[in-house]
Amino acid sequence: MMHQFKSSGLKLGIIAGGQLCKMLIQEASKWDIITYVLDPEDNCAAGNIASKCFKGHYQDFDAVYSFGKKVDLLTFELENINIDALKKLQSEGLKIIPDPLILELIQDKGLQKEFYVKHEIPTSPYVFYSNKDEILTAIIDKKLKFPFVQKLRKGGYDGRGVSLIKTEKDLDLLMEGETMVEDLVEIEKEIAVIVARNENGETRTYPPVEMVFDSKANLVDLLICPSAISEEQSKKALEYAIKLIAALDMKGILAVEFFINKKGEILVNESAPRTHNSGHHTIESVITSQFEQHIRAVLNLPLGSTQLKMPAVMINLLGEEGYFGPVYYEGIEECMAIEGVNIHLYGKKITRHFRKMGHVTVVSDTLVEAIKKAAIVRKTLKVISWDKL
Ligand code: ADP
């Protein structure tokens, strides 16, 4: 494989062709790497820059298996993949990075939690329930007290599959199925740390970023780097991220999300064994972007510097409310005229409310200046459509 990297013709397979895959390919194309993508949609974000696109669903055994047979090395941009197909490919000699076993563990928020506890990485206390009735019974029996957070063990995404139950009034939000109930953390801040590791065990961490959430959409509204946390908190977060990736014996990029509670304690929330929304700013603000780093890690190449070049603020470009149809980016030219504003459009043809259509990273000499400019972009750049709902 290394031989192929130094020469020509290495076929890197990427499962799912969304924006993370697109940005991965943009980095892979700096080198002589052929990229094959598997995605269920005709017009996926990575579609027009992948060397080759194959239509098929990532949860479908046959689609994943036959795709894997076409490539020299396999990685992915999302967690929700058919594990049996990956395991079969691996047993037949295909290198899959990160390892399918890690994916299997992370697909289940319950197993993730158990792993944190086993490896003494602080996290909020939790209990598993097999259905909604069990939760209601636990409340009646006074074994479970308000407030709490219920999470689907599997299949949740971008806040879907998470219910915040603060009082009895919220009980109609309870979800059916296998869930995990955890103590509600009084969140002071949410931060994320990206860590990379290769087969040689070389490990690099990125500076912690602070995520500011839009409470309505439950999506990241603003992401700030460097984050305004104490030196000690930063040290701890990096330490936990390194401990976790080593305990998993993982290769590739791991994104670890943490809560900082009102007491200033750091608790791990969840992790993703892939490139992450909280690392988009690294394209412009860090010497080696998370996407290049992932390729380096996957190919067991030396990892690159994770030094921050400039303070950065990242905002997601979400489809505006009330629009559904062919996309139109209102105000894009005004924003481009602002120094330090870097616009990324994912190339999704159809916008709908809250759909992630792109992102903007603002870099500046000072964080204050970057935040100001990001606020202007937020007000000016709107993802809409001529076809109103
Ligand atoms: P997802 O996998 O969908 O991103 P998360 O576990 O990150 O789900 O939860 C989504 C959001 O819900 C978090 O960013 C946080 O704001 C809130 N949340 C999740 N768990 C807790 C908790 N234990 N206490 C308080 N808020 C929480």
Over range 309-331, report the average pLDDT.
Answer: 95
Asked if pLDDT for residue 158 goes beyond 80, the answer is no
- Rounded Cα distance between 244 and 196, Å, is 11
Ligand 1 centroid to Cα of residue 321, in Å, is: 23
pLDDT tens-digit map of 51-107 = 999 999 999 999 999 999 999 999 999 999 999 999 999 999 999 999 999 999 999
Confidence of residue 156 (pLDDT cuts 50, 70, 90): confident
Ligand 1 centroid to Cα of residue 226, in Å, is: 22
Tokens of residue 272, six digits = 């993703």
8 A C-beta contact, residue 305 and residue 288:
yes
pLDDT tens-digit map of 242-257 = 999 999 999 999 999 9
For position 243, what pLDDT does the model report? 98
- Rounded Cα distance between 158 and 233, Å, is 25
User: 208-217, 273-282, 329-338: which has the minimum mean pLDDT?
Assistant: 208-217
Ligand 1 centroid to Cα of residue 350, in Å, is: 28
Strands 162-165, 148-152: pairing kind = antiparallel
Over range 147-172, report the average pLDDT.
Answer: 91
Over range 211-234, report the average pLDDT.
Answer: 85
Tell which one of 149, 258, 268, 356 to mutate to probe ligand 1, the residue whose CB is within 8 A of the most ligand atoms: 149
Coil, helix or strand at residue 166: coil
Confidence of residue 352 (pLDDT cuts 50, 70, 90): very high
For residue 48, the tally of other CB atoms under 10 A from its CB is 11
For position 375, what pLDDT does the model report? 93
How high is the mean pLDDT of the chain? 95
Share of the chain above pLDDT 90, in %: 92
In CATH, which superfamily holds the domain spanning 125-183?
ATP-grasp fold, A domain (3.30.1490.20)
Atom 23 (ligand 1): residue with closest C-alpha?
A: 184
Confidence of residue 155 (pLDDT cuts 50, 70, 90): confident
For position 7, what pLDDT does the model report? 76
Ligand 1 lining (C-beta closer than 6 Å): 124, 149, 151, 156-159, 161-162, 182, 184-185, 187, 190, 213, 218, 257, 269-270
Atom 9 (ligand 1): residue with closest C-alpha?
A: 159
**Single-letter residue type at 282:** T
User: 130-144, 150-164, 331-345: which has the minimum mean pLDDT?
Assistant: 150-164
Single out the residue of 120, 121, 95 nearest to residue 193, CA to CA.
Answer: 121
Coil, helix or strand at residue 6: helix
- Specify the ligand 1 atom closest to the Cα of 269: 6
- Specify the ligand 1 atom closest to the Cα of 190: 14
For position 238, what pLDDT does the model report? 98
For position 128, what pLDDT does the model report? 97
**Single-letter residue type at 129:** Y
Q: Determine whether 305 is exposed, middle or buried from the number of CB atoms within 10 Å of its CB (0-12, 13-18, 19+).
A: exposed
For position 316, what pLDDT does the model report? 94
For position 3, what pLDDT does the model report? 65
For position 219, what pLDDT does the model report? 62
Tell which one of 106, 149, 170, 269 to mutate to probe ligand 1, the residue whose CB is within 8 A of the most ligand atoms: 269
Asked if pLDDT for residue 181 goes beyond 70, the answer is yes
Atom 11 (ligand 1): residue with closest C-alpha?
A: 159
Q: What is the CATH number of domain 3-96?
A: 3.40.50.20
- Rounded Cα distance between 307 and 89, Å, is 36
Confidence of residue 234 (pLDDT cuts 50, 70, 90): very high
Ligand 1 centroid to Cα of residue 136, in Å, is: 21
Asked if pLDDT for residue 2 goes beyond 80, the answer is no
Tell which one of 116, 158, 162 to mutate to probe ligand 1, the residue whose CB is within 8 A of the most ligand atoms: 162
Ligand 1 centroid to Cα of residue 159, in Å, is: 7
Residues in the chain: 389
- Domain covering 187-385 assigned CATH 3.30.470.20 in the classification: yes
For position 387, what pLDDT does the model report? 66
In the chain, domain spans: 3-96, 125-183, 187-385
Ligand 1 centroid to Cα of residue 63, in Å, is: 32
For position 160, what pLDDT does the model report? 84
Same topology, domains 3-96 and 125-183? Answer is no
